[in-house]
Amino acid sequence: MTRRSSIDSYRKTRVDHASETAEDYVEAIDELIEQEGQCRVTTLARRLGISHVTVSRTLSRLASEDLVETEPYRPIVLTDKGHALAAWARQRHELVLNFLKALGVPENVAIPDAEGMEHHCSPKTLSAMKRFLKETRS
């Protein structure tokens, strides 16, 4: 690996980490709304295994990015932009998970691995995974 490609790789990882939290939050919010009809700060905090204070701070950032709408003591609402990001994150997660399982990775290992890997796969890698899955199912 050349020094330049190494620098670019680290830069990509930092950018991926920055968007990882937003993607995890909107995906969890979307799932909770689907399962329970609404999403509240305390429920989201339990789902993510973090404090409600941390959730509140992150929701403020997500609101400034137009991903959620939130008011004190009211359910969290995803904006259209938030819904789109949640759908994309869920689709990407399922693709990575199915790819790992197709390789023979046990589900109990593939689930947490996919959660970490999904945020760092390039569009080219995701396309290759999708092609692989299509070919193995044919």
Please give the model's pTM, rounded to 2 decimal places.
0.81
Q: What does each C-alpha distance from 88 to 12, 72, 83 come to in angstroms?
A: 19, 28, 9
- The mean per-residue pLDDT over the stretch 16-20 comes to 67
For the chain, which domains are there? 3-137 (1.10.10.10)
pLDDT tens digit string along 28-81?
999 999 999 999 999 999 999 999 999 999 999 999 999 999 998 899 999 999
Q: Is 73 left (phi over 0), alpha (psi -120 to 50) or beta?
A: left
